[in-house]
Structure 1
Amino acid sequence: METIPGVAREAAARFGDKAGVVDGERTISFAALWEAIRKAAAGFIAAGLEKGDRVAIWAPNRLDWIVGAVGAQAAGCVVVPLNTRLKGGEAAFILNRARARWVLTVDNFIGNDYRAMLAAEDLPHLERVITFGPEWDAFLAAATPDAGTDARIDAVTPEDPSDIMFTSGTTGDPKGVISGHGQTCRTFRIWTQSVGLRDDDRYLIVNPFFHSFGYKAGWLPCLMTGATIYPLATLDVPKLVDLVSAHRITMLPGPPAIFQTILATDIGGADLSSLRLSITGAASIPPALIERMRKDIGIETVLTGYGLTETCGTVSLSDAHDPADVVARTCGKPIPGIEVRIADGDGRILPAGEEGEVQVRGFNVMIGYFEDPEGTAEAIDAEGWLHTGDVGRFDEDGRLMITDRMKDMYISGGFNCYPAEIEKILQKHPDIALAAVIGVPDERMGEVGKAFVIPVAGAHPDPAEICAWAKANMANYKAPRSVEVVESLPLNASGKVQKFALKDRVKAEAAPAGGVAAGA
């Protein structure tokens, strides 16, 4: 069993002067990265941070994020990543909930002045804010690692918490998910081997470090394998293409939208032929996109997977040899050493082909929700099964297929309605670019579907026509009874629609706005 600082120290010993991180004009070797981490740990210890104290990081992808995170973990602290899109009040909720003593941040990012935002909030537990840049550099320069520092690093155990990652809040207030060093390292050793990451890979990390995809499936596997880390702070497709071409990037994971944009962009003379490996997901994936990623971009291995914050970010992965339609419609098979089952509402275990709740048991399941024993007991039963709240099924080959979120499901006239299925059909309408469906109260049916749709560029969809089209293209009980055309949908930083915000919006309206009744 390992710890994250132990992985970084081993990387320094194994890979030495090899480039560990390339962040713009800054390049640092694995050996120098470890020395910076030791300095950070020494600085945290000298400042009085104790084992178990929480250190939050509110910053975009950059070298300092890694040094700060692993340095805090090396001092025995627990890292609390903050979503860079949060507003002051949202960040304050997490900081107060976690009782974070320190925050590491940046001056300004995407128009946000994080220090000013923090200054405007009531943060009774927060003692210090350090800004990456000259202030952070001075903090590291003043630190003097010694035998006491190394003793503190050695005192970190695999059972100790490594981080508290707050869930995205698509269904309400975020909860703090506690993960341990050992389970995180074990999960991503398996992940790294399964995806085939190598020491000669150059990994462009677009996924945010505050998310498992950018942190645990991002820079941590690079430390494990010796792959070089290339952080990218924002999703800027022209810059991304330039980096891939100039630095011969080999590994580029990300949501489908990234690759759809690349394929739709005139990249001029940029050379993307170095790309060999990608992992995509977090949204429905057309098989044609997988084929184009392989044939048009030239990415030999395109994988997908399934995971959630409560499972260290990983439950299943597809195989490198899976055909495009399998990659698109399934999440692959469970990683070795864990158990996954499908159960109905009565706890009956369901066979392949039948839909129910996805439940997970094994080393990847979280320690629990931070200081929330009731929430933890609700999520993890007495036998250790995590009730994910996701609806899915196994196919005949043992591959997992995720259908929807149980919390999003609504019942109309006695029939279970799964929004993801309805949205997928609606998005086949020629005038609809994106759809989100929720259940709304109905006197006769109990609940009926309401769709919020974003039109394709230049289209002016008619709600009544969409309702009629839906009835013609799906079972009547699934067809939304009202449609509202909108310019945008409330999203979190991972691109997930915040359904609770849509439901709150409907509740707040005295009468339906922008929709059309179609249930008569």
Structure 2
Amino acid sequence: MTTSLFMRIRDCFPADLNKTLLETTDGSRFTYRDADEWSSRYAAALHGLGARKGDRVAVQTDKSPAALFLYLGCIRAGLVYLPLNTAYQTQELSYFVEDAAPVVIVCQPQRKADMEGIVKEKSVSGVFTLDEDGQGTITQAALEQPVDFAPVPCADDDLAAILYTSGTTGKPKGAMMTQMNLWSNGRTLVDLWGFTASDTLLHALPIFHTHGLFIACHCAMISGAGMIFLPKFDREQVIAALPRATVMMGVPTFYVRLLAGDDFNADLVSNMRLFISGSAPLLPETFAAFHARTGHYLLERYGMTEMGMATSNPLTGERIIHTVGPALPDVEVRVCDDQGQVLPAGEVGVLEARGPNVFAGYWKMPEKTREEFRDDGFFITGDIALIDKKGYVHIVGRAKDLVISGGFNIYPKEIETEIDKMAGVLESAVIGVPHPDFGEAVVAIVVPDGTQTLLPDDVMNHIKSLMANFKVPKKVFFVDELPRNAMGKVQKNILRDEYGTRN
């Protein structure tokens, strides 16, 4: 049987294609028929631009129904979708374009000139635009295209997307997600979380991220559900939409912000059946306060860019704070020591996972891919965990000094490299410290070399000019030297203890 990720999702659309798939803040409604027809138009437009099966399409656009339909158009045409965070700056974008070699780029209109500068002398068919209202040159190219573009068949191990995740060495890695990776995870989560066609998902997440696109949107479309599609998390808009929703997915920051006002209460969410939290650790006080206020226990789950979701607290059954639940039905997880020996229940080690959701490897990085997989196919997540006797996974730490701020992964090395290049800087260390809204905030500790006067704003403005805003240090401290152990390694645990409570 010839099929593809798109064909499988399309087969799940409701029989009545006039059912609403998306409702936006201005009251506009977009049906499953719109999704079907516009995905055809975008697929045909991309095909007309020379994009063929396996080619990459890079997309850095605002969230909109059109942006979702463009994604569907890419996978309908057998293309590899490359979503890019809208906060990425020129230096970051240059690397992604150079590394992934997309055939077509779609960006925000205000980015067009910058993007054309990046792709100069590269084999790109063109740079096209798409704005927050769904208008732009890619939409113009799609308008006259047919609504019956034949979906391109794909093998299960053909690529569907490449998702860049920051690397510990400062070099981002492109996680290669196959057709089956994305389909299997969506299908499993629909069943696990009880999605049906009667659900309405309150969608306030970005769609350049695994959470918002492959988890949230796939769950809705595979179950034939509807979505209230907000451009971003806006507390007033979420409060207004909650009475008409049944499910919400969010990062812990969303729930902290909702709890900040008395207007968020049990009456408001009486129609809701499920709140899901992920992409960052959930604080026990948030879990407890949420239940006290609403009667709902937040469902915490665990995943990564490289594998979508791997574990989840149960829909029916005990949701235990400090855990991310047991493995999904088609996923295996284990905890191992540094030598790869499996540890018994209750012992702390590195979490590893294996299943149809686990990515195919890193784009053009075969050696890195080999390093991250065991010989028996288990992916080494780098997260420190234990699995209790009930099979629930407890994430107890993060390897490699990863910082998670507002649900975004930040690798300090990337920021440290740029700070260390600054005139007047001898060395630096970047850490994450507790933050009431974002979970963690980026803080830089800098050792000046004495050649010139440096101010905290100098460091922050330098990083802001190079990187996405979520990577910019919230605070900068200057010190004479960094604490080191006997081997000369910077002791970031000491820095976190010292600077974690400084205002």
Range of TM-score over shorter length = 0.7 to 0.9
1:362 aligns with 2:363: no
Contact 1:4 1:70 in 2 (8 A): no
Partner of 2:284: 287
Cα displacement string for residues 65-107 of structure 1 (whole angstroms, at most 9, x for unaligned residues): 1111110111111000001111122112112110011122223
In percent, how many aligned pairs have the same letter?
25
CA distance in 1, matches of 2:16, 2:228: 17
Partner of 1:6: 7
The 3-state SS of whatever aligns with 2:127 is: strand
Of the structure 1 ranges 266-275 and 56-65, higher mean CA displacement relative to structure 2 is found in 266-275
The 3-state SS of whatever aligns with 2:250 is: coil
Letter in 2 for 1:372: M
1:383 aligns with 2:376: yes
2:313 aligned residue (310, 315, 318): 318
The 3-state SS of whatever aligns with 2:105 is: strand
Contact 2:4 2:152 in 1 (8 A): no
Letter in 1 for 2:138: W
The 3-state SS of whatever aligns with 1:315 is: strand
Contact 2:249 2:275 in 1 (8 A): yes
Partner of 2:305: 309
Partner of 1:213: 211
2:229 aligned residue (218, 228, 231): 231
TM-superposed CA distance for 1:271, in Å, is 3.4
Partner of 1:160: 158
CA distance in 2, matches of 1:74, 1:356: 41
TM-superposed CA distance for 1:344, in Å, is 0.5
2:342 aligned residue (341, 346, 349): 349
TM-superposed CA distance for 1:494, in Å, is 12
The 3-state SS of whatever aligns with 1:368 is: coil
Q: Which has the higher contact order (CA 8 A, sep 6+)?
A: 2
Partner of 1:40: 42
Contact 1:206 1:233 in 2 (8 A): yes
TM-superposed CA distance for 1:190, in Å, is 0.7
Cα displacement string for residues 190-245 of structure 1 (whole angstroms, at most 9, x for unaligned residues): 11111112211111222221111001111111110011122222222112222324
**Structure 1: gaps spanning 5 or more residues:** 108-112, 410-418, 421-435, 441-448, 458-483
CA distance in 2, matches of 1:33, 1:53: 22
**CA 1:125–1:451: 2 relative to 1, 3 Å:** closer
The 3-state SS of whatever aligns with 1:103 is: strand
The 3-state SS of whatever aligns with 1:389 is: strand
Length-normalised TM-score, structure 2: 0.77
CA distance in 2, matches of 1:335, 1:455: 30
1:64 aligned residue (63, 66, 88): 66
Length-normalised TM-score, structure 1: 0.75
Letter in 2 for 1:252: M
**CA 1:276–1:53: 2 relative to 1, 3 Å:** same
Q: Give aligned pairs, total.
A: 436
The 3-state SS of whatever aligns with 1:240 is: helix
Contact 1:43 1:144 in 2 (8 A): no
CA distance in 1, matches of 2:189, 2:141: 35
Partner of 1:338: 331
**CA 1:404–1:274: 2 relative to 1, 3 Å:** same
Letter in 2 for 1:66: L
Letter in 1 for 2:114: M
Contact 2:431 2:496 in 1 (8 A): no
**CA 1:196–1:77: 2 relative to 1, 3 Å:** same
TM-superposed CA distance for 1:273, in Å, is 2.8
Of the structure 1 ranges 217-226 and 259-268, higher mean CA displacement relative to structure 2 is found in 259-268
Contact 1:206 1:231 in 2 (8 A): yes
Partner of 1:479: none
**CA 1:263–1:157: 2 relative to 1, 3 Å:** same
**Structure 2: gaps spanning 5 or more residues:** 405-410, 417-428, 438-455, 484-494, 499-503
Cα displacement string for residues 411-430 of structure 1 (whole angstroms, at most 9, x for unaligned residues): xxxxxxxx99xxxxxxxxxx
